[in-house]
A and B are shown apart, each in its own frame.
Chain A
Amino acid sequence: MFTPFTVASIGEAFGSQLVFFDNHPPNVSVPGCKSAEQVTSLAKNPVIQKKSMHFLMEATGYMKKYNNNNAAIGGVFLSPVDLPAIIIGMEGWLNTLLFEEREANLILESMIPFFVNSANAFLEAGAHLLILPLAFCNPHIVTRSMVEKIMIPVLKEAFQQVQGPIVLHHVGLPLSPFLEPLKDLPNVVGYALDSTDSFSKARQTLGAAPVLLGNIDGPTLNRQSPEDIMARCQRVYENRKNDRHFILATSGADIPLQTPEENIHALVKSASVYGMEHPHETE
């Protein structure tokens, strides 16, 4: 089970204006902070921290209460290199990273304790693991040099202070080219891959230990037939039949609301039909 993927409340706590919709989560319409100093000052404020996490903590608490430990709860949050995009806007953050080194460093330094406190609060509230969509480490968003020089040191420092396991998510874009710099980050136990990422190549890069999740394309799930979905799942299971650390999952940010129920049932059914053809040895 996943906690709601709605991080606009973080932006709201930092003064951003939000807009609300009938059919998807709220969005930041006007970012709250204009300067690095403003971000760092607010990030240190415990009231802001609490306010930003209020909804997510409440949701996690309810999930724990009604779940009775029947399923693992994944707390969906943002990494310290992605949080600033919610606070100063996507363009503002990209601009700062590219052209304002001092300000970028100030913001990132302030995001580390903010992230660590939020992540550990998630775990204390009942989440068993954290799931972090990692946009600012994706080859379609930033360069490898930015990832290696700016992002990885921040992620290392932050992740080592998290009191639980972390799964990194591809945010709807292929992640394979940057798996190398992303391996060996503290507490990272899994990677959710894009539908176009290769499991075999990812395994070569990451080694046998981390869990790989994917790669049924979520955003197009409504446009496939249940038979197509079953066939795709069968191919994935066949590809991963000797992989002990694999979980079938949809890739992409989400599946469309209008996805027919039969399609979702086909996905679930595939696990019992094909997932059991090659039962793993138990340790």
Chain B
Amino acid sequence: MTETLANKLVEAMMDANRDLAHDLLETYAEEHGYLQAASRILEPALVIIGEKWESSRDVSLAQAYVAAKVAGDFMTLSASKEPASQDHKNRKGTVVIGNIEDDYHSLGRNMVSIFLEKDGWVVHDLGNDVLASEFVDKALEHEADIIAVSAMMYSTAMNIRKVREELINRKLQDKIKLVVGGAVFTLRPDLVDEVGGDGTALNAIKAPEIFNTIYYGMKQKEAL
């Protein structure tokens, strides 16, 4: 039953039918609880869309945006109806996220923030045109594990190197990791190394994967 519902949710999101998606999730949540709705319906549906987006690239930005909105709607709803369902947020790390200096293309960043929050991350969004020093200052202030930096174009992506330099200068490279993203990295994955990134995601829905991999890798290293 849950598999069928998850598939129906995928269809609703692919048809950009936000209301139907909302109804499917709320109906299930009213009966089984919001945590169950998140783990059994929403999460599998997002995994399906994320895989489709990554493998065949036949998911458009509009469909992914609808998926982000549905996830955002559901988080808001579950927070108001069942506050306890939000407790799992403490289980993951903290991230500060923003668009790098001179970059104003916020759409991707906003979508990544939603999917990270849904996955249990505490997200501090710094907005557009964020200087390297501000990224690191805010990461220290919020005790962040990861700095996530977005850029759309090659010219602005190059400014991300300043964040890496800032981390090195303050001897923080082992304590705070740098995840980079944006259209230019999808087109040119080699840029991740060039700007000093520790990783990237191919799309917003799949973003939590790389954050989790890096985060648990850090925790494992700390435990040794």
Residues of chain B in range 50-69 having any CB-CB distance to chain A below 8 Å: 57-58, 60-63, 65-66, 69
Cα–Cα, bound, A28→B155 (Å): 16
A91-B110, A98-B18 known; A143 and B155 CB under 8 Å? no
Binds A, one of B88-96, B101-109, B172-180: B101-109
Q: When the two chains form their complex, are residues A219 and B154 in contact, meaning their CB atoms are under 8 A apart? A: yes
Chain B minimum-CB-distance residue to A144: B60
- Could you say which residues of chain B place their CB within 8 Å of the CB of A27? 102, 104
Number of interface residues of A (CB under 8 A): 25
Contact status B129-A29, CB under 8 Å: yes
Which of A54-62, A134-142, A156-164 forms contacts with chain B? Answer: A134-142
B62 close to A143 (CB less than 8 A)? yes
State whether B65 touches A94 (Cβ < 8 A).
yes
User: Which among B57, B102, B153, B154 is the interface contact of A140 at CB below 8 angstroms?
Assistant: B57
* Interface contact B107-A143, CB-CB below 8 Å: no
In angstroms, Cα B218 to Cα A233, docked, is 47
Check if A4 is an interface residue, CB within 8 A of chain B: no
Residue contact A139 to B18, C-beta cutoff 8 Å? no
Contact of A139 among B16, B60, B105, B154 (CB under 8 A): B60
Interface check A208, CB cutoff 8 A: no
**In the complex, per-residue mask of B18-39: 1 if CB is within 8 Å of any chain A CB, else 0:** 1000000000000000000000
Which of A16-24, A119-127, A237-245, A260-268 faces chain B? A16-24
B interface bracket (residues with beta carbon within 8 Å of A): 20 to 34
Q: A141 touching B60 by the CB < 8 A rule?
A: yes
B65 lies within 8 A of A143 (CB): no
Q: Which of A21, A94, A172 has a CB less than 8 Å from the CB of B61?
A: A94
Q: Is the CB of A23 within 8 A of B155?
A: yes
User: Are A29 and B60 in contact (CB-based, < 8 A)?
Assistant: no
Which residues, 103 to 124 on B, are CB-close (under 8 Å) to A? Answer: 104-107, 110
Q: Determine the distance from Cα of A175 to Cα of B77 in the docked complex, in whole angstroms.
A: 38
User: Nearest-CB distance from A9 to chain B (Å)?
Assistant: 16
B170 within 8 A of partner (CB): no
Q: Decide if B188 is an interface residue (CB 8 Å cutoff).
A: yes
B187 within 8 A of A: yes
Q: Does B128 contact A (CB under 8 A)?
A: yes
Complex: A28 Cα to B103 Cα, angstroms:
10
A143 near B129 with CB under 8 A, answer no
> Is A97 in the interface zone, CB < 8 Å from B?
yes
B14, B63, B110, most chain A CB atoms within 10 A: B63
Is the Cβ of B63 less than 8 Å from the Cβ of A143? yes
Bound form: Cα–Cα A120–B42 in Å: 49
Contact A24 B105 (CB under 8 A): no
Contacts of A172 in B (CB 8 A): 187
- Are B102 and A141 neighbours in the complex by a CB distance under 8 Å? no
B152 CB to nearest A CB, Å = 10
Complex alpha-carbon distance, A16 and B104, angstroms: 13
User: By the criterion CB–CB under 8 Å, are A24 and B107 in contact?
Assistant: no
Indicate if the CB atoms of A94 and B62 lie closer than 8 Å: yes
Q: Report the Cα distance A220→B189, complex, angstroms.
A: 12
Q: A19-B129, A27-B104, A94-B107 are in contact. Are A219 and B61 (CB under 8 A)?
A: no
Chain A residue at minimum C-beta to C-beta distance from B111: A91
Contact status of A146 and B102, CB under 8 A, knowing A24-B155, A29-B128, A140-B57: no
Q: What would 21 A/B residue contacts be, using CB atoms closer than 8 Å?
A: A21-B102, A27-B104, A28-B104, A29-B128, A90-B107, A91-B65, A91-B107, A91-B110, A94-B61, A94-B65, A94-B107, A95-B65, A98-B16, A99-B69, A139-B60, A140-B57, A143-B60, A143-B62, A146-B62, A219-B154, A219-B187
